[in-house]
Amino acid sequence: MPVQLSDNARIVLERRYLAKQGTEVVETPEDMLRRVAKNIAQVESDPIWEEHFFAIMDNSEFLPNSPTLMNAGRELQQLSACFVLPIEDSMEGIFETLKNTALIQKSGGGTGFSFSRLRPSFDVVSSTGGVASGPVSFMRCYNAATDAIKQGGTRRGANMGILRVDHPDILNFIQCKADPKEITNFNISVAITEEFMEAVLADKTYQLINPRTKEPTGELPAREVFELIVEMAWKNGEPGIIFLDRINRFNPTPHVGEIEATNPCGEQPLLPNESCNLGSINLAKMAKRKGDGWVIDWKRLGEVVETSVRFLDNVIDMNRYPLPEIQRMTFANRKIGLGVMGFADLLIRLGVPYNSEEGVELGRKIMKFIQTTGHEASAKLAEERGSFPNYAGSIWEKTGRPMRNATVTTIAPTGTISIIAGCSSGIEPLFALAFTRNVLDNDRLIEVNPQFEAILRERGLYSPELVAEVAKTGSVRHLEDFPEDLKRVLVTAYDVTPEWHIRMQAAFQEYTDNAVSKTVNFPKEATKEDIRTVYELAYKLGCKGVTVYRAGSREGEVLTVGHNKEEQVKEPAARPAPRKRPKVTRGETVRIKTGCGTLYVTINSDEQGICEVFTTIGKAGGCAGAFSEATARLASLALRSGVEPNQVVRQLKGIRCPHPIWQEGQQVLSCPDAIAQVLDEYIKNHGVNGIKGSQMNGAPKAAQKVNGAKGDNGDTAFPGQACPECGGAMAMESGCATCLECGFSRCS
């Protein structure tokens, strides 16, 4: 790994990637990369490939998708991130797929489905004489199953649900996530047809088709349906849209089947029972010094592309597939998805604005080079190893060119691996140049993008006061005396207008076999008209789909810009009055898992017994954090007012939230229930006076460890959710909230 591995990268690796014995990390980052390189090189006869694979990962020039890093060379050996499963229109088919979904998610994969084959609500069920409940009801069933699955111990369940726009239940589907507590483990997208878009533009009706009978069941005004999609996307970012006919126009194996769905983030259209292995090149590493400036090292980029294509093709053979039918389909088409990350970093280094003709043209040029070089590498592999088995009848056969892989390129979100590589995510602009985060005890730290800091120092502009001002918004656009040339280059996601987001996506899509993962970020004040314009522009410019997100549009989004302190709530007079807190208390901190993330509970005692409870989960101000803090404050107030600790335990124990989990054989029903369990255990070990057993002066060791842990986060310089694991800043990326600090991801 690079010498300057960031603190956040180390935290991400230790939490999710490095091998452990129990809870102890027994693998270094270098060990991990050696493990992966050695495992993937087993396909090769020449041992030099292990060194080539190790080198591009060790230099952070390329990283494969997370399951490969986590599992290659280990017992699980499940290396794919994305799967698409078919859902047949029968009770047996629906629940057979649900069983297969559980097996895939258990192994660490994400799943995409089209529910379009299912008969609509109130349609006839001849076997029972009843009526069908429709696709959305079964989405709820799949959602509940995902809630119960912890993926591979390291990855959380994620699904994509897709319904054709001509399905009779389409209006119900579009609105199925109006309640943010519903279908929480799904991203949803409407599969848009060419016929529908033509009807929208002409303000005409279009037909709804019963998938069971293939007969029309009625008509809807296309523009009204389109407006409903726009309205719901404006409200909470969903549904997204995919242009299904366009996707199938580029289907490399139409003789095998029609593409119906994508993976959870939408960038990988797949046939039923197909999987794909993804990896990304770090473009930030493809710049080299030339004189006083920077240029792209095209020679090195070509070498990394060739090595990466070979690496990903080997992954197909080394993978241990969760289902035999997935192995058969994956071997038959051998799809890989090589993409990029660090694009925004590269632009800044080259002095090119993201939101400019030059920036868009450079993105197009880079991706054309990667695609052309990648196809050449796949063709060479075909000469060496043979073309993919479904080559006959494919679009490649028509060109006369042998190909090892049916597809070669995909632009995927890279939230976690870009943290490891220390670069910007995918082809997204930077989310913030600097931001403020909270640590424990309400301390605030300002984190600065390394490139931004380097530029400030090079230009003699750096000062703590300037950085603090930038951290208020994450951007420099509001600074009056800041150099205009730097303002043009140092743009963030909300500085870029939606039109430039789409134009950049379209530029990369032009030379990408599969699809492009990209979030079009809107400010909070954006209108429905703005959303509509972007959807229409995405269709016009040749995108295969589009995901939008308007800041502040989802419930639970609590991080805000700036340094405004929360209002201090004064305790009202109460009788009996709580005793005064002494200057020094003694106690201990216990870590316990909850459905909202890891909760740290501190129980302290004074000379009269247990006197206070403190909790930390995520970031101060988050919903889970606020809820648990409120519970702890009230418990502390009761304890210092003379209420028996066992009474507090009884009041909190058994409270249930929607996401109970199991930890070490014991169910944790909610954050209050977790506090009760810790308090109950403390009473058993120390008594109500808290004096039995060993005690420590000052802060408990566990709390001291948390205080000193780098990467435990707080505020962000742009609106977003608080990470339930580390409290860090989360940004929307292809429909998934992804933590910029620890890489935690929660789709929708």
> How many whole angstroms separate alpha carbon 300 and alpha carbon 281?
11
Q: Are residues 301 and 223 in the same domain?
A: no
**pTM of the full predicted structure?**
0.78
Q: Are residues 243 and 146 in the same domain?
A: yes
Q: Are residues 239 and 166 in the same domain?
A: yes
Q: Are residues 475 and 591 in the same domain?
A: no
Q: Are residues 128 and 217 in the same domain?
A: yes
| 50 and 41 Cβ atoms separated by less than 8 Å | yes
Q: Are residues 213 and 305 in the same domain?
A: no
Q: What is the pLDDT of residue 727?
A: 62
Q: Which helix (H) or strand (E) holds 605?
A: strand 597-606
> How many whole angstroms separate alpha carbon 404 and alpha carbon 378?
5
Q: What is the pLDDT of residue 608?
A: 80
Has residue 365 been placed in a domain? yes
Has residue 537 been placed in a domain? no
Of 50, 238, 260, 267, which residue is the catalytic one? 267
Q: What are the tokens at 707?
A: 């205080």
Q: Are residues 135 and 190 in the same domain?
A: yes
> How many whole angstroms separate alpha carbon 388 and alpha carbon 392?
9
Has residue 330 been placed in a domain? yes
Structure confidence by residue, pLDDT tens digits, 301-350: 999 999 999 999 999 999 999 999 999 999 999 999 999 999 999 999 99
- Structure letter (DSSP) for residue 212: T
Question: Residue 557: CB partners within 8 Å, gap ≥ 6?
Answer: 551, 719, 720, 721
Judge whether 725 counts as a catalytic residue: no
Q: Are residues 186 and 146 in the same domain?
A: yes
Q: Are residues 295 and 191 in the same domain?
A: no
SS (H, E, C) 371-439: HHHHHHHHHHHHHHHCCCHHHCCCHHHHHCCCCCCCCCECECCCHHHHHHHCCCCCCCCECCCEEEEEC
Cis ω on the peptide bond leading into residue 576 (within 30° of 0)? yes
Question: Residue 369: CB partners within 8 Å, gap ≥ 6?
Answer: 298, 301, 302
Q: What is the pLDDT of residue 78?
A: 95
Which amino acid does the sequence have at 9?
A
Partners of 588 in the β-ladder: 603
Cis ω on the peptide bond leading into residue 483 (within 30° of 0)? no
Has residue 509 been placed in a domain? no
| 338 and 279 Cβ atoms separated by less than 8 Å | yes
| 606 and 681 Cβ atoms separated by less than 8 Å | no
Q: Are residues 194 and 293 in the same domain?
A: no
Nearest to 30 by CA among 54, 64, 12, 6: 54
| 404 and 381 Cβ atoms separated by less than 8 Å | yes
Of 265, 423, 596, 739, which residue is the catalytic one? 265
Has residue 300 been placed in a domain? yes
Judge whether 265 counts as a catalytic residue: yes
Has residue 631 been placed in a domain? yes
Structure confidence by residue, pLDDT tens digits, 489-512: 999 999 999 999 999 999 999 999
* Of the residues 206, 232, 249, the one at which a domain ends: 249
Q: What is the CATH number of the domain that holds 397?
A: 3.20.70.20
Q: Are residues 125 and 52 in the same domain?
A: no
> How many whole angstroms separate alpha carbon 514 and alpha carbon 501?
19
Of 159, 236, 263, 405, which residue is the catalytic one? 263
Q: What are the tokens at 208?
A: 């709804």
Q: What is the pLDDT of residue 438?
A: 58
Nearest to 121 by CA among 107, 106, 108, 132: 132
| 169 and 163 Cβ atoms separated by less than 8 Å | yes
- Structure letter (DSSP) for residue 149: -
Domain range for residue 366?
Answer: 32-73+275-421
- Structure letter (DSSP) for residue 14: I
Has residue 18 been placed in a domain? no
Q: Angle at CA 141, nearest 5°, toward 136 and 145?
A: 140
Judge whether 267 counts as a catalytic residue: yes
Q: Which of helix, strand or coil describes residue 46?
A: coil
Domains of the chain: total: 4
> Which residues of the chain are modeled with pLDDT < 70?
1-4, 129, 150-157, 437-444, 555-576, 618-622, 665, 688-722, 724-729, 733-735, 741, 746-748
Q: Are residues 415 and 311 in the same domain?
A: yes
Q: Which helix (H) or strand (E) holds 594?
A: strand 586-594
| 427 and 505 Cβ atoms separated by less than 8 Å | yes
Which amino acid does the sequence have at 538?
A
> How many whole angstroms separate alpha carbon 635 and alpha carbon 195?
61
> How many whole angstroms separate alpha carbon 60 and alpha carbon 370?
17
Has residue 354 been placed in a domain? yes
